Amino acid sequence: MLTSLWSGKTLPVIVVSTILVVFWYVGSIYLNGDMQRDAFANANKTDYTLSEFIKGTWTQERPKLPAPDQILSELYKTVIDTAPTSKRSLVFHGYVTLSATLFGFLIGSVLGMILAILVVHVKSLDKSLMPWVVASQTIPIIALAPMIIVIMNQFDITGLVPKSIIAAYLSFFPVTVGMVKGLRSPDPLQLDLMRSYWASRVQIFFKLRIPASVPFLFASLKVGVAASLVGTVVAELTKSEDGGFGARLLAGSYYGQTIQIWSALFAASACAWALVTLVGILDRLVTKAMGAR
Amino acid sequence: MASSRVIDIADLSLTFETNDGPVHALSKVSLGVEKGDFISLIGPSGCGKTTLLRVIADLEHPTGGSISIHGMTPEEARLKRTYGYVFQAPALYPWRTIGKNISLPLEIMGYSKDERAGRVRKGLDLVNLTGFENKFPWQLSGGMQQRASIARALSFDPELLLMDEPFGALDEIVRDKLNEQLLRLWEKTQKTVVFVTHSIPEAVFLSTKIVVMSPRPGKIHDIIGCNFPRDRTLDIRETPEFLDVANRVRQGLREGHSYVD
């Protein structure tokens, strides 16, 4: 019974998560301990018990490391108890972030695919464009994001678009790299076959290169969609007036609201997980229709 | 007689320029193929048999001599889609079903949808794969995949069938069976076949003419006629006539090798 659980997925996942949670609670005691001792000293309370001390470290208002249950109850409060229209609701901020993420992901994917097609078909672009594509990713996005927003603002482009452009900036790269690899993946035999039919470049592209690139494309899209969310959150740190997880993180750090920061982080990673899973489901549906085992 | 010539090769040479100097893949090769012939090119690795086949298919370009296919250059012949090519591996596209794989050349050549459906059905029947139209390649055995690739090569009814060790990767039992089926198929379709192999029994069993090649530089050592009745079965492999031809091929291969070792 136990061995069959081990060979499955459930038990290892439970064990690892439990260990993480235990470490987290211990970490909370350690990191918040000084502040708790100060709090007891300020209240002239010297006869506190160990359990009072531990409980104290797990229930502070602005702990250095909030306990997991503090984050969960904050999440419950801001996701379920608060009306989604309120600026205090994480659903509201999630909507802001996700809409910019998805729009940016769309731009980035389309741009990435177009670049890949150009790079594969125009020899000079492989040499001239690809280095710039790689160089674009060496610039720290945190430094670039404010400048993009300022420049866009100069052209009266505000709202969703500047954030989406930063999201697209991060997501086009994996798509380009993966798609280039995929478009070049047909082996010499598959290409010779096309030559023996006197197939045109367009026919080779649509009947061989594109279908061969699909598995590579989906692997890249999974990376791209997560990168898109990161880009949006970074953009929201600069452009925080519209809200979003990034704005929530920024406000939290202004006021030392660590619980708020952590819950925004959790919500953002849950969104990223959901997006990657969605792309994964789409991947399975498409590759299944294309004969994958 | 000249009108029945399908392939005419005279003094054909092909030299690859490599970093280690030129490699003479083919040297002064001359060969005539008549309509309805089943020609086997046999020889050890590096004798240029596959290169010769690829030159006929216009997948390689000769550096000397002349070659014509139905009086055309190989490029014109490729443009006119006069040949179907069967590779060492089935090279089926994994995202296409067997039926869709067979219809791939038809799509590229612009056949109508109805025409395609009819030809795919005929092709599947020809190689005994009826009922497997909607299966994906991985669901078929290696022998079945190679049969599908033969159906694909014949789907647009080319006059010439070029086969590059099509059964090399299969086990002997499957290979024997496919040899027999290929013979029936050749009889039925009256195609001209050029067949690359390094199996002596396979070459003797299938061919009307066996071209023995030798390596470094790749050239033709001997051409052995081999005219068993068209309705022969695998049993003829036990007959003295068969063994006699096989011995002559073996002899030729040995002579071709002798100056190397």
* Predicted local confidence at residue A84, as pLDDT: 85
Q: Other C-beta atoms within 10 Å of A223: how many? A: 18
B126 and B46 in a single domain? The answer is no
Residues of B113-152 as b/e, b for ≥16 C-beta within 10 angstroms?
eeebeebbeebbebbebeebbebbbeebeebbbbbbbbbb
* Predicted local confidence at residue B261, as pLDDT: 43
Rounded to the nearest angstrom, the minimum Cα separation between B57 and chain A is 7
How sure is the predictor about A3, in pLDDT bands with cuts at 50, 70 and 90?
Answer: low
Using the beta-carbon criterion (under 8 Å), do B81 and A198 form an inter-chain contact?
yes
B72 and B166 in a single domain? The answer is yes
Domain end: B108, B137, B157, which one? B157
Give whole-number Cα distances, B121 to A195, B34, B134, B147, B178, in Å.
Answer: 25, 30, 12, 14, 20
Using the beta-carbon criterion (under 8 Å), do B93 and A203 form an inter-chain contact?
no
CATH number at residue B222: 3.40.50.300
B196 and B75 in a single domain? The answer is yes
* Predicted local confidence at residue B66, as pLDDT: 92
Question: Taking CB atoms and an 8 Å cut-off, how many pairs form between chains A and B?
Answer: 52
B78 and B166 in a single domain? The answer is yes
* Predicted local confidence at residue B260, as pLDDT: 46
Residue in chain B nearest A193 by alpha carbon? B85
Inform me whether the C-beta atom of residue A193 falls under 8 Å from chain B C-beta atoms: yes
How sure is the predictor about A5, in pLDDT bands with cuts at 50, 70 and 90?
Answer: low
Closest Cα partner for A36 from A55, A16, A57?
A57
Rounded to the nearest angstrom, the minimum Cα separation between A219 and chain B is 17
Helix pair angle (A50-57, A10-42), 10° resolution: 110
Beta bridge partners of B11: none
| Whether the Cβ atoms of residue B206 and residue B178 lie closer than 8 Å to each other | no
Total residues found in chain A within this entry: 293
The answer to the question of residue B169 being in a domain is: yes
B183 and B150 in a single domain? The answer is no
Beta bridge partners of B26: B14
Burial class of residue A82 (count of CB atoms within 10 Å of its CB; 0-12, 13-18, 19+): middle
What average pLDDT is seen over chain A? 91
Residues 6 or more apart in contact with residue B49 via CB below 8 angstroms: B41, B42, B43, B196, B213, B218
Q: Please give chain B's pLDDT, 261 residues, in tens.
A: 446 789 999 999 999 888 888 888 898 899 999 999 999 999 888 888 999 999 999 999 999 999 999 989 999 999 999 999 999 999 999 999 999 999 999 999 999 999 999 999 999 998 899 999 999 999 999 999 999 999 999 999 999 999 999 998 888 888 888 899 899 989 888 899 999 998 999 999 999 999 999 888 888 988 998 888 888 888 888 898 889 899 999 988 888 765 544
ipTM: 0.89
Using the beta-carbon criterion (under 8 Å), do A203 and B108 form an inter-chain contact?
yes
**In the predicted model, what is the mean pLDDT of residues A45-71?**
91
Inform me whether the C-beta atom of residue A192 falls under 8 Å from chain B C-beta atoms: yes
Q: Other C-beta atoms within 10 Å of B15: how many? A: 16
Rounded to the nearest angstrom, the minimum Cα separation between A276 and chain B is 24
Assigned token pair, A90: 């994480």
Rounded to the nearest angstrom, the minimum Cα separation between A206 and chain B is 11
| Rounded Cα distance, B169 and B185, in Å | 21
Helix pair angle (A141-154, A160-183), 10° resolution: 120
Q: For residue range A202-216, what is the model confidence (pLDDT) as tens digits?
A: 999 999 999 999 999
| Rounded Cα distance, A191 and A110, in Å | 26
B116 and B187 in a single domain? The answer is no
Q: How do B38-42 and B64-69 pair as beta strands?
A: unpaired
Q: Angle B136-B138-B144 (CA atoms, 0-180°, nearest 5)?
A: 85
Q: What is the CATH number of domain A90-289?
A: 1.10.3720.10
Closest Cα partner for B85 from A193, A203, A200?
A193
Q: Other C-beta atoms within 10 Å of B75: how many? A: 12
* Residue spans of beta strands (DSSP E) within B70-164: 83-86, 160-164
Rounded to the nearest angstrom, the minimum Cα separation between A282 and chain B is 16
Q: In which residue are the tokens 């022969």 written?
A: B232
Chosen from B60, B108, B138, B154 to mutate, greatest number of chain A CBs within 10 A: B108
**In the predicted model, what is the mean pLDDT of residues A185-208?**
94
Phi, psi dihedrals of residue A153, rounded to the nearest 5°: -60, -35
Give whole-number Cα distances, A215 to A176, A197, A209, A222, in Å.
Answer: 14, 26, 12, 11
Contacts of A216 in chain B (CB under 8 A): none
Using the predicted structure, report yes or no on whether residue A253 has a pLDDT greater than 60.
yes
Assigned token pair, B69: 């296919």
Contacts of B74 in chain A (CB under 8 A): none
Expressed as residue numbers, the domain containing B24 is 2-82+159-258
Q: How many domains does chain B have?
A: 2
Interface of B with A (CB under 8 A): 57-59, 78-79, 81, 83-85, 87-89, 91, 93-97, 104-105, 107-109, 136-138
* Predicted local confidence at residue A165, as pLDDT: 94
Using the beta-carbon criterion (under 8 Å), do A207 and B105 form an inter-chain contact?
no
Q: Per-domain residue ranges for chain A?
A: 2-65, 90-289
B148 and B168 in a single domain? The answer is no
Rounded to the nearest angstrom, the minimum Cα separation between B153 and chain A is 10
The answer to the question of residue B252 being in a domain is: yes
* Predicted local confidence at residue A82, as pLDDT: 85
The answer to the question of residue B124 being in a domain is: yes
Residues of A18-30 as b/e, b for ≥16 C-beta within 10 angstroms?
eeeeeeebeebbe
**Three-class SS state of B120:** helix
**Three-class SS state of A50:** helix
Give whole-number Cα distances, B167 to A269, B87, B98, B116, in Å.
Answer: 53, 9, 19, 27
Contacts of A206 in chain B (CB under 8 A): none
Assigned token pair, A237: 């740190």
Q: Which amino acid is at A108?
A: G
B230 and B145 in a single domain? The answer is no
**In the predicted model, what is the mean pLDDT of residues A183-187?**
95
B41 and B118 in a single domain? The answer is no
Using the beta-carbon criterion (under 8 Å), do B95 and A196 form an inter-chain contact?
no
| Whether the Cβ atoms of residue B205 and residue B192 lie closer than 8 Å to each other | no
pTM, two decimal places? 0.84
| Whether the Cβ atoms of residue B89 and residue B61 lie closer than 8 Å to each other | no
Contacts of A291 in chain B (CB under 8 A): 94-97, 136-138
Sheet holding B160-164, edge to edge: B83-86, B160-164, B192-197, B38-42, B209-214, B219-225
The answer to the question of residue B88 being in a domain is: no
| Rounded Cα distance, A235 and B55, in Å | 59
Give whole-number Cα distances, A174 to A144, A189, B228, B231, in Å.
Answer: 19, 28, 61, 59
* Predicted local confidence at residue A207, as pLDDT: 95
B174 and B244 in a single domain? The answer is yes
* Predicted local confidence at residue B254, as pLDDT: 86
Using the predicted structure, report yes or no on whether residue A1 has a pLDDT greater than 60.
no
Task: Please give the full DSSP string across B201-225, using - where no structure is assigned.
Answer: HHHHHH-SEEEEEETTTTEEEEEEE
Using the beta-carbon criterion (under 8 Å), do B97 and A291 form an inter-chain contact?
yes
**In the predicted model, what is the mean pLDDT of residues A5-32?**
89
Cα dihedral A137, A140, A141, A142, rounded to 10, equals 170
* Predicted local confidence at residue A86, as pLDDT: 85
Residue in chain A nearest B86 by alpha carbon? A193
B238 and B176 in a single domain? The answer is yes
Q: Other C-beta atoms within 10 Å of B202: how many? A: 22
Q: For residue range A131-184, what is the model confidence (pLDDT) as tens digits?
A: 888 898 888 888 889 999 889 989 988 888 999 999 999 999 999 999 999 999
B240 and B164 in a single domain? The answer is yes
